[in-house]
Structure 1
Amino acid sequence: MIDCLHRLHRLLCPLAVVFFLSAGLAAGVAAQPAPTTAAPAAAMAPRVLACTVCHGKEGRATPDGYFPRIAGKPAGYLANQLLNFRDGRRSYPQMTYLIEHLTDDYLREMAEHFAALDLPYPPPPPPQAPPAVLEQGRRLVQQGDVARNVPACVACHGAAMTGVAPSIPGLLGLPRDYLNSQLGAWKTGQRRAHAPDCMADIARQLTPEEVSAVSAWLAAQPVAAGGKPARTLPAAMPARCGGVADVPVAGR
């Protein structure tokens, strides 16, 4: 029954997006602000109603598990993802339809609106994997696998895994299904980022079992510090990643 409801939500959500588009983003397309002015939060909220149909009230996410939280994510990261959807580096037709005619500046205003929302995270769900699998996921997240040149997740996403401003996302507070699907999309090339696409390189090194273990462990962790991204990483990143050129890289 639950699986049936999940499938129904995924089918109905795009239809609801199209309905709300007329009251939300469509108004923004016709009245995009000049690049030098930023829309106040009160003015921006009704323009992004279409986003909240799938991503939940104020972008908090929904219990469904397939649409991630966007509230409080780093503005640079959200802007990059909107640009990736619009320009074809990420593939989800409903997202592309919503934003394909929006300018870079308007997408950045949308990103800044959601990034500025300071909303509490709910407690994580109970672990969805056996202890041995969770331990495998923990090791990969916190230590990586040096023998295969797989860096620890914390080396880029921060010790608390809440991300790093302005462009590195947090990994906590996300559903296991979503984490699984995104790592799988990087492995198969369905999700891409600006070159060098470091996440694609890392994901291709992981087995399906390791992807599942990492996702299960991350999804079971509480979100520290209100989920706010760190200002800096404690050390240089282990590899160069597109979209985060301002972050120092080890040995370079």
Structure 2
Amino acid sequence: MKFIVFILLAMGSGLINAQEPVSPLVPDTLEQRVKPCTICHGDEDRAGRDAYYPRIAGKPAGYLFNQLRNFRDGRRYYQAMAILLENLSDEYLLEIAHYFSSLKYPYPEAAANTLSPEETQTVETLIHSGDPERDIPACSACHGKALMGVKPFIPSLLGLPHAYVAAQFGGWRNGGSMRGQIPDCMSEIARKLSQEEVNALTVWLPAQPITAEPAETEILTTELTQRCQTTLSGEGFTR
């Protein structure tokens, strides 16, 4: 009798153990480790033009590396980013930057351009020629002829949601903490633009189709290199 009870108990224990879910093994890869990043910044299934957070896939690695360091070190502030990056080494941030730079997620369709012909002309003049009288360089002089950025440190202006572009211009013009404690060349330039020009830029840029990849390293003018040295610096960056 005792033997039968023992067998029944053993069978019962086996059934209980068999019903316990087995946790799948999660591979220790960089793709898995950066999952918290894609919660906000999206992935292939979530990329859309209505999101607030910017696209980071495909951006130049040097630019991503600089921004990660700026968030970690408090030069640019956003609490969620500060918490995620706290205590991470430069080497690890560089690895993350190269990972996202290599991704080729599809871009969202261009938004509708609701600007008048006159507003469009004003924006396109700023984009391609700037305004020398106000010491405003052409956007394409830094961000490339296709506005898709220049490797390794200059980001694209296209493929970004309207809300994000508007928020960044607001930060540059008004000294918002997210845009950084140290003024950069975009802060200087944005403050020289009128509010009407800023409004038009935030509509025109998301309305442009994506036709190219970030340009390979181009030689900027000496003036622009000196003017934007905080943006172009990449101590510790290697390709």
Fold shared per TM-score above 0.5: yes
What is the Cα deviation at residue 235 of structure 1?
A: 4.9
Flag the structure with larger Rg: 2
What is the Cα deviation at residue 182 of structure 1?
A: 0.5
- 1:148 corresponds in structure 2 to 134
Q: 1:134 to 1:57 in 2, by over 3 A?
A: same
Contiguous gaps of at least 5 residues in structure 2? 1-25, 235-239
**TM-score (normalizing by structure 2):** 0.77
State the distance in 1 between where 2:108 and 2:133 align. Answer: 36
How big is the alpha-carbon RMSD for the aligned residues of Structure 1 and Structure 2? 2.5
What is the Cα deviation at residue 123 of structure 1?
A: 2.3
Q: Is the partner of 1:65 in helix, strand or coil?
A: coil
TM-superposition CA deviations, 1:12-41 (whole Å, max 9, x none): xxxxxxxxxxxxxxx9xxxxxxxxxxxxxx
- 1:137 corresponds in structure 2 to 123
Q: 1:237 to 1:114 in 2, by over 3 A?
A: farther
What is the Cα deviation at residue 59 of structure 1?
A: 9.5
TM-superposition CA deviations, 1:61-106 (whole Å, max 9, x none): 4443311110000000001111111112222111111112211111
- 1:187 corresponds in structure 2 to 173
Tell me the amino acid that sits aligned with residue 208 of structure 1: Q
Q: Is the partner of 1:79 in helix, strand or coil?
A: helix
Alignment of 1:18-29 (within 5 A): none
Q: 1:175 to 1:221 in 2, by over 3 A?
A: same
- 1:44 corresponds in structure 2 to 30
Alignment of 1:59-74 (within 5 A): 61-74=47-60
Q: 1:128 to 1:177 in 2, by over 3 A?
A: farther
RCO greater where, 1 or 2, for CA within 8 Å and sep 6 or more? 2
**TM-score (normalizing by structure 1):** 0.74
- 1:210 corresponds in structure 2 to 197
- 2:217 corresponds in structure 1 to 232
Tell me the amino acid that sits aligned with residue 233 of structure 1: E
TM-superposition CA deviations, 1:223-249 (whole Å, max 9, x none): 112xx2111336526422113148xxx
Give the alignment partner of residue 113 of structure 2, picking from 112, 127, 139. 127
What is the Cα deviation at residue 192 of structure 1?
A: 4.5
State the distance in 2 between where 1:136 and 1:60 align. Answer: 33
Identity of aligned residues (%): 49
Q: 1:52 to 1:58 in 2, by over 3 A?
A: farther
- 2:17 corresponds in structure 1 to none
State the distance in 1 between where 2:49 and 2:136 align. Answer: 31
